[in-house]
Amino acid sequence: MSLPAVVPAPASIEAGSGAPFRLTSATTVSGEPDAATALASILTARAGLTPVAAEASADIELRIDPSTGSGASGAAESYRIAVDEASVSVTGADATGLFYGVQTLGQLLTRDAGEWIIPAVAIEDAPRFAYRGVMLDVARHFHGVDTVKGYIDRASSLKFNALHLHLTDDQGWRIQLDSRPELTVKASGTAIGGDPGGFYTKDDYREIVEYAASRHMIVVPEVDMPGHTHAVGLAYPELAEDPVIQDHMRDVIDQYGGELPVPGVPYEALAVGFSSLKIHDEATYEFVADVFGELAAMTPGPYLHFGGDESLATQDDDFAYFVTRVSALVADLGKTPVAWHEAGSAKDIADTTIGQYWGYVTPLEGFAEKAQTFVDNGASLILSPADAIYLDMKYPSGPELGLTWANGPTSVQDAYSWEPAEVVPGVGDEGILGVEAPLWTETIRTAADIDTMAFPRAAAAAEAGWSPRTGTSDLRTRESFRARVGALGPLWTSMGIGFHPSEEIPWVTE
């Protein structure tokens, strides 16, 4: 008997020998109310059925039990599913595990001769890595609250538990701060290509954080510095150096269009690496303290991301001084600093700082050494290899969205065929906090664009973060993944996910 399709692949799954469980309009559900609501939403969208709430002895039972037994169960975020002809049981070690169990149950739902069934199965599941993130760049093109909430829904269904928001860049500042009001007054109105900008009010940000929490996700806000800060100079010109124009910028502008950056003028092109804050001016650090102090108070999650990438206009010694000082400032706020891997060139960076590696699956010269610094300090890495899980890279064939700088177009196979413990030499599971799939938005303007670029490749990133290591499970193969993702096509369609119908995947239709 073939196994039902589950993505990301679970730690353990066994097909039962008995008949499936059949759903009807009279199917009852009992247990944890939030999980029951989540299940009802999936069943209504997928099958047009709404389970009947019951106090006890229901057909489908949803419960939390911290001592769920041996094997994968019992760990944080873990769950167990047992299905036979008479009943369905989903048990989570905690509320998050139960939520994930419900997401898996939704994937098991299938049609059989006009009826909706859940095949007899036993699943025990738990995540490989603690951190499993997606990143959305809202600076290059702004994306409103409803779009962000939609992305949270989609990501959490694949067991991602972190939303990294890239809130600031050369093209715009997207978060309201009482301590620095000019940032949204003067630096939020534009985007790439002359598109309209925008920003999140403090109430907007609170709504996003609370919505993410309801889907068992944290929000990781990023304010990128000392580079990627042209927008800061629009609001507070005394803090910003004049742009440094290099040949690579001219090449990018020749290829993609736009103008060279000018002090005090909004920047609407794609090139990077020309901006910097004033490193040796104490006013800069007063600004940094205001920004991260207020952001820390607004963010219940443990992480604050201060960027640190592509600071090509900042001298190496100045860069090291800056990231060392800013990482300490963030740590003093009681938060865990996160920075892109270039910040690992600063040997005195705060030792709690998490590094985010965005190099290639096979590191370029010097990239792995910088990433290694964070592990040597006793912290860890988030892996975001650009030529595998940068979701904004073009597909080999398909829409004209996306870029190609990360080793050319990225296929679904590219997104799947890498092993986290083999990227940075010498850094295995113990040095890896998790995996994150970034979606930069130079060419991404709408919620539909996000769906197209993220799905199905986000599912590959989800499997890298959640599922057993490659080579340790029969499910952790490219062929298995293709079949399992293809089976999700009808579910994704019913949930309103406009995925790219990649020809690499044998999509199931109904």
Q: Whole-angstrom Cα distance, residue 378 to residue 331?
A: 15
Query: What stretches of 157-266 show up as alpha helix (H) in DSSP?
Result: 182-186, 202-214, 230-235, 247-256
Q: Whole-angstrom Cα distance, residue 223 to residue 217?
A: 19
- Give the per-residue SS3 of 433-460: EEEEEEECCCCCCCHHHHHHHHCCHHHH
Structure tokens at 40: 């009802």
* Spatial CA neighbour of 352 closest among 324, 382, 331, 370: 331
Q: How many CB atoms lie within 10 A of CB 129?
A: 20
Active site annotation includes 268: no
* Spatial CA neighbour of 199 closest among 226, 224, 181, 212: 181
Q: Beta strand pairing status for 162-166 and 218-225?
A: parallel
As a dihedral over the C-alpha atoms of residue 381, residue 387, residue 388, residue 389, rounded to 10 degrees, the angle is 70
Q: Beta strand pairing status for 162-166 and 131-137?
A: parallel
Contact indicator for 154, 492 with CB cutoff of 8 Å: no
Contact indicator for 174, 138 with CB cutoff of 8 Å: yes
- Tell me the sheet residues that pair with 437: 134
Contact indicator for 108, 484 with CB cutoff of 8 Å: no
* Spatial CA neighbour of 42 closest among 119, 121, 108, 125: 108
Q: How many CB atoms lie within 10 A of CB 283?
A: 12
Block residue for tokens 């730690």: 11
Angle between helices 447-454 and 145-156 (to 10 degrees): 20
Catalytic residue among 294, 310, 419, 510: 310
Q: How far is CA 137 from the centre of its chain?
A: 11
Q: Distance from first CA to last CA of the chain, Å, rounded? A: 21
Catalytic residues: 310
